[in-house]
């Protein structure tokens, strides 16, 4: 936790210097004396941090506009042009077009669109881009983050298993993992699932540590925002939904479609409500994780942005201090959101596998 806290502080320093230098460079480049709208600049910087990217950016030179980082592989499938793979460096951060077999592609606001030789982007009446999009299978920054988290997770638990196999006593990273594994087992799985908890321990441990690691990675200078991506939280919630539905016993389905112990008219009323509840539970999982992690990043970046907007020696240290405090709280939130997601997943699974033999027979309508 101390290492993560130090990385978090370093990340804040890194982002602060980037924001301040970016604002200064824009001002020095404004030779005509026009006013620079720094609030819009900060808002764009926050959006850039929250969005996924085809580049693994380390830093940028505000004077030259040059970016330093690693371009990631782009893999697109166009129904008119087939499957193609190339480096994101060909887009030159959206400044250049990529031509393949006479078709032109443009990187615009982290999305890839088909366009003409001039790179035209058209909008509809509601302001949405009308250009056709190829199917994007690219290895983006969020994908890299999930791969790193998966490799780290595999290494951690492989080390724990090896230490148990040799000495029956965990060593190294295993000493840190063992209390957490026991905590998930005794405080989450057993109370909420019951005697059948062992069947679901692998899933609960995986989702707990996977989310926690991704949340902590988002507090580092690497700039990951994986759990702040609605597609990722949707995927995690979908896995929970599938496990719950395939684990449901006859009592679970009976309580959804024909609830015992209530009059028949109430059964008809409750059935659509229970069916709706099947989908609202994973939806709540998805939105809760996404909203909390996104909000944390927005608050931290907004406080740092205020340093640029206020531009005085009093507001700078004050807002930076507030940012440090929020950052420390975010370390707790990173653990808490992993815990809540795992707890609710265990609760929903427990509701699906629970036996309801103690319910009374249907109450006749009087």
Q: Are 236 and 102 part of one and the same domain?
A: no
SS3 2: helix
Structural domains counted in the chain: 2
Instruction: Please check the confidence at residue 128 and state whether its pLDDT lies above 50.
Output: yes
What separation, in Å, do the N-terminal and C-terminal C-alpha atoms of the chain show?
Answer: 63
Tokens representing residue 339 in the block: 């815990």
Task: Evaluate whether residue 65 is within a structural domain.
Answer: no
Tokens representing residue 74 in the block: 């782009």
Answer with the residue of higher pLDDT: 214 or 11: 214
Task: Evaluate whether residue 66 is within a structural domain.
Answer: no
pLDDT of residue 208: 96
Mean pLDDT, the chain, integer = 80
pLDDT tens-digit readout, 12-46: 444 443 444 333 333 333 333 333 345 666 666 66
Nearest to 297 by CA among 22, 54, 46, 109: 46
SS3 259: coil
Q: What is the DSSP letter of 55?
A: E
Identify whether the C-beta of residue 255 lies closer than 8 Å to the C-beta of residue 274: yes
Q: What's the average model confidence in pLDDT over 142-167?
A: 88
Q: Are 98 and 159 part of one and the same domain?
A: no
Structural domain range at position 220: 142-353
pLDDT of residue 343: 96
Task: Evaluate whether residue 4 is within a structural domain.
Answer: no
User: Domain boundary at 85, 114, 138, which?
Assistant: 138
How many Cβ atoms from other residues are within 10 Å of residue 307's Cβ?
Answer: 22
Q: Are 105 and 187 part of one and the same domain?
A: no
Q: For residue 150, what pLDDT band results from cuts at 50, 70 and 90?
A: very high
Answer with the residue of higher pLDDT: 135 or 220: 135
Q: Are 122 and 239 part of one and the same domain?
A: no
pLDDT of residue 19: 42
- Interatomic CA distance for residues 248 and 145, integer angstroms: 33
- Interatomic CA distance for residues 112 and 130, integer angstroms: 12
Place of tokens 């909203």: 291
Tokens representing residue 187 in the block: 């405080």
Tokens representing residue 138 in the block: 């690219």
pLDDT tens-digit readout, 168-212: 777 778 888 889 999 999 999 999 998 899 999 999 999 999 999
- Interatomic CA distance for residues 105 and 136, integer angstroms: 12
Q: Are 219 and 293 part of one and the same domain?
A: yes
Q: pTM for the whole thing?
A: 0.80
pLDDT of residue 175: 85
User: Domain boundary at 117, 138, 159, which?
Assistant: 138
Comparing 10-14, 30-34, 53-57, 93-97, the range with the smallest average pLDDT is 30-34
- Interatomic CA distance for residues 177 and 186, integer angstroms: 14
Nearest to 15 by CA among 302, 312, 296, 311: 302
Task: Evaluate whether residue 38 is within a structural domain.
Answer: no
User: Domain boundary at 97, 117, 138, which?
Assistant: 138
pLDDT of residue 32: 37
């Amino acid at each position: 936790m101390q290492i993560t806290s130090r990385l978090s502080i370093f990340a804040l320093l890194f982002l602060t210097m980037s924001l301040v230098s970016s604002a200064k460079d824009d001002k020095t480049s404004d030779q005509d004396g026009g006013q620079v709208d720094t609030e819009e600049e900060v808002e764009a910087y926050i959006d850039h941090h929250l969005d996924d990217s085809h580049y693994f950016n380390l830093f940028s030179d505000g004077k030259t506009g040059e970016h330093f980082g690693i371009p990631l592989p782009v893999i697109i499938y166009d129904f008119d042009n087939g499957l193609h793979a190339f480096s994101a460096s060909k887009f030159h951060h959206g400044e250049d077009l990529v031509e393949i077999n006479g078709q032109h592609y443009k990187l615009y606001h982290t999305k890839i669109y088909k366009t003409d030789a001039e790179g035209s982007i058209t909008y509809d009446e509601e302001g949405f881009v009308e250009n056709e999009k190829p199917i994007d299978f690219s290895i983006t920054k969020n994908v890299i983050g999930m791969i790193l988290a998966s490799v780290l997770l595999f290494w951690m638990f492989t080390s724990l298993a090896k230490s148990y196999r040799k000495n029956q006593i965990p060593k190294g990273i295993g000493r840190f993992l063992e209390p957490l594994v026991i905590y998930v087992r005794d405080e989450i799985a057993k109370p909420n699932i019951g005697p059948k908890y062992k069947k679901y321990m692998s899933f609960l441990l995986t989702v707990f540590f996977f989310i926690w690691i991704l949340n902590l990675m988002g507090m580092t200078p690497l700039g990951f925002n994986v759990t702040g991506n609605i597609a990722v939280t949707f995927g995690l919630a979908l896995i929970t939904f599938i496990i719950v539905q395939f684990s449901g016993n006859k009592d679970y389905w009976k309580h959804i479609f024909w609830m015992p112990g209530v009059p028949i008219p109430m059964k008809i009323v409750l059935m659509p409500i229970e069916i709706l509840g099947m989908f609202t539970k994973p939806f709540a999982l998805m939105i809760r994780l996404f909203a909390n992690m996104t909000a944390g990043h927005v608050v931290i970046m907004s406080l740092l942005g205020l340093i640029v907007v206020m531009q005085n020696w009093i507001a700078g240290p004050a807002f930076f201090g507030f940012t440090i405090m929020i950052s420390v709280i975010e370390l707790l939130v990173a653990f808490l959101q992993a815990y809540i997601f795992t707890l609710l997943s265990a609760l929903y699974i427990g509701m699906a596998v629970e036996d309801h033999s103690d319910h009374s027979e249907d109450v006749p309508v009087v």
